[in-house]
Amino acid sequence: MNISVFLAPGFEEIEALTVVDYLRRAGQNVTTVSVPEDGCVDEQIVVKGSHGIPVTADILLKDYIKKLDGELTDAIYFPGGMPGAKNLADNQFLFTFTIRMARGGKVVAAICAAPAVVLAPTGILANRKWTCYPEMEKELDKWCGSALKAEELTENSTHIKNVPFVLDNNVLTGRGPGTAEQFAMKFVELLCGELVAERIRQGSCQR
């Protein structure tokens, strides 16, 4: 399967690279995409994380868009971290693409700040169970534009506390960097099945 991982300046390194690592161990085609900071027209292939770790992405967003040519991919993933999640949320292509992916039945995954900051404004959390970094579920008015808008966009959704991840149909959300491994393995299981996930668990000496 083809999975796209979007990296914007300020992304959480553990969350991003743990998922990339485990999905590649599972034999999946993972593409890391460099997303520019909001308002920045000069795209850079090297993206610096929230803890100052530079990561070289596989492709620039503008080239990724051309390569897609209007098609969907099998799965997309948004790591958390700030201001990384905010930079992702401010990108109009990603906003529209996320909605198209969810409506097309493709896998949409996000962890930490990203479920609240990136996914909630798209409306795809409505009628779903989800989780995010603790207390960020209380700031949806900030990310959605207003309390009324947040209520509309997350209508009938249920935020689940104190869990490493929540899978609701084709939307996978995670809690934070300390749960990145569990989240990543659920991602592997979702895309590749339990046998592949178990092989990776044993081979990587997981707890």
Residues carrying an active site annotation: 112
Strands (E), the chain: 2-7, 29-34, 46-48, 54-56, 59-60, 75-78, 107-111, 129-130, 158-159, 165-168, 171-174
* Residue 163 backbone class (left: φ over 0; alpha: ψ -120 to 50; beta: rest): beta
Q: Given 3-state DSSP classes, what are the helix, strand and coil percentages for the chain, each rounded to the nearest 5?
A: 45, 20, 35
Distance CA 143, CA 68 (A): 28
C-alpha gyration radius of the chain: 16
Distance CA 102, CA 153 (A): 14
